[in-house]
Amino acid sequence: MRLRHAVGGAAATLGAVAVRDLVQKKHALRRNFPIIGHARYWLERVGPELRQYIVTSNEEERPFSRDQRTWIYASSKEQNNYFGFGTDVDVEHTQGHAYIKQRTFADKLPSDHDANWTLPSAKVLGGPRGRAKAFRPGSVVNVSAMSFGSLSSNAITALNKGAAAAGCLHNTGEGAISPYHRNGAELVVQIGTAYFGCRDEHGQFSLERLKEMIASAPVRAIEIKLSQGAKPGLGGLLPAAKVTPEIAQIRGIPEGKDCASPSRHTAFHDVDSMLDFVEMLAEETGLPVGIKSAVGSMEFWEELARLMEPRQRGVDFITSTAARAAPVRRR
């Protein structure tokens, strides 16, 4: 009896839904497929989750794949973060993977006690342009720009000690040389648009301060930061609360006030004047001078190549970074 009531109730509800679907004129799907048309909305709602857990592979999602997220979750809980049974990435057929093939009679691996176990760079930085302090970097793998301020004192100290132990270069990032960069590693000093560590009281570039900063540490090269992939076309703002006495002193900015990193340089304004600036820095310091930029519009690079072609002016190295568009949330 109860069952018959329940079935009757369900049939009445379905009937009412079907009538409503047929009468309404807003959704063609429901009018053409009364009742079952609703399944599509439900599938659309749970689709992302279904794709995430069932369809998408461990390597597919952005900005972090499932494999990367799993590694982060395990590491943050101090659980085992080793993955067994090899990688599920198709390293041989997708770009950007270095892989090692098995060799039956392999050379002996260098031990930690062997002095020269890093792979030195094939290039003499500044050599082709005859810079007074041209040198061959001791390692092809180096630490890329990350400022003190964006990273903590402990992190910079650890990177610097690690770089010293590995014989590689440590790029200061645009936040100038901090005491934590002085733990033995050779440095690449980065100059950003705010000229931290080498600016006058109006925020303009100061060669005198740059020379003082360079003389105070084992600096081997200068990198002019033109742009960074993460914030295309934008400057940055260091809010007053983050301008501690220590940061203010290191960067040469007033304490406790907002500090803007403009979106462009004031020491030069086009490729031609940039090359003059590069040559002036190299002449005054003797160091190799490079640029760092995301590769976006090709015009800049074409003009750089054109103006370097007569070989009178030129950058000594180029650090490139992937350009990223600002993320757009879809849901």
Two structure tokens written together for 96: 């950007």
Question: Which CB, 118 or 150, lies closer to ligand FMN?
Answer: 150
Two structure tokens written together for 98: 């270095």
Question: Which CB, 30 or 265, lies closer to ligand FMN?
Answer: 265
Compute the C-alpha angle 225/209/300, nearest 5°: 20
Question: Which CB, 145 or 259, lies closer to ligand FMN?
Answer: 145
Least distance to ligand FMN from the beta carbon of 63, Å?
11
Least distance to ligand FMN from the beta carbon of 192, Å?
6
Letters for 47-86 (x = contact with ligand FMN by CB under 6 A, - = none) are ----------------------------------------
Least distance to ligand FMN from the beta carbon of 190, Å?
6
Q: Say if residues 319 and 223 touch (Cβ distance below 8 Å).
A: yes
Nearest of 97, 170, 144 to residue 294 by alpha carbon: 144
- Mark the segment that binds ligand FMN (CB under 6 A) among 27-35, 111-119, 142-150, 255-263: 142-150
Tell me the residue nearest to ligand FMN as measured from the CB.
173
CA atoms of 152 and 147, how far apart (whole Å): 9
Residue 145 interacts with ligand FMN (CB under 6 A)? yes
Number of residues interacting with ligand FMN: please give it, by CB under 6 A. Answer: 13
The residue within the footprint of ligand FMN, chosen from 206, 291, 292, 315 (CB under 6 A), is 292
The residue within the footprint of ligand FMN, chosen from 173, 252, 288, 314 (CB under 6 A), is 173
The residue within the footprint of ligand FMN, chosen from 134, 146, 159, 315 (CB under 6 A), is 146
Residue 170 interacts with ligand FMN (CB under 6 A)? no
Letters for 225-244 (x = contact with ligand FMN by CB under 6 A, - = none) are x--x----------------
CA atoms of 265 and 243, how far apart (whole Å): 22
Question: Which CB, 39 or 230, lies closer to ligand FMN?
Answer: 230
Task: For residue 296, give the amino acid letter.
Answer: G
Two structure tokens written together for 103: 């060799």
Nearest of 123, 122, 327, 146 to residue 228 by alpha carbon: 146
Task: For residue 186, give the amino acid letter.
Answer: E
CA atoms of 207 and 213, how far apart (whole Å): 10
Least distance to ligand FMN from the beta carbon of 321, Å?
4
Residue 144 interacts with ligand FMN (CB under 6 A)? yes
Residue 174 interacts with ligand FMN (CB under 6 A)? yes
CA atoms of 13 and 202, how far apart (whole Å): 74
Residue 198 interacts with ligand FMN (CB under 6 A)? no
DSSP state, residue 107 = P
Residue 290 interacts with ligand FMN (CB under 6 A)? no
Least distance to ligand FMN from the beta carbon of 174, Å?
4
CA atoms of 300 and 229, how far apart (whole Å): 15
Q: Report in angstroms the alpha-carbon separations of 292 from 146, 196, 302.
A: 13, 16, 16
Residue 190 interacts with ligand FMN (CB under 6 A)? yes
DSSP H stretches of helix in the chain: 2-23, 28-32, 37-50, 66-76, 153-166, 207-215, 245-251, 271-285, 298-308
Least distance to ligand FMN from the beta carbon of 319, Å?
7
Cβ within 8 Å of residue 166, ≥6 positions away: 118, 139, 141
Least distance to ligand FMN from the beta carbon of 31, Å?
51
Residues that bind ligand FMN (CB under 6 A): 144-147, 150-151, 173-174, 190, 225, 228, 292, 321
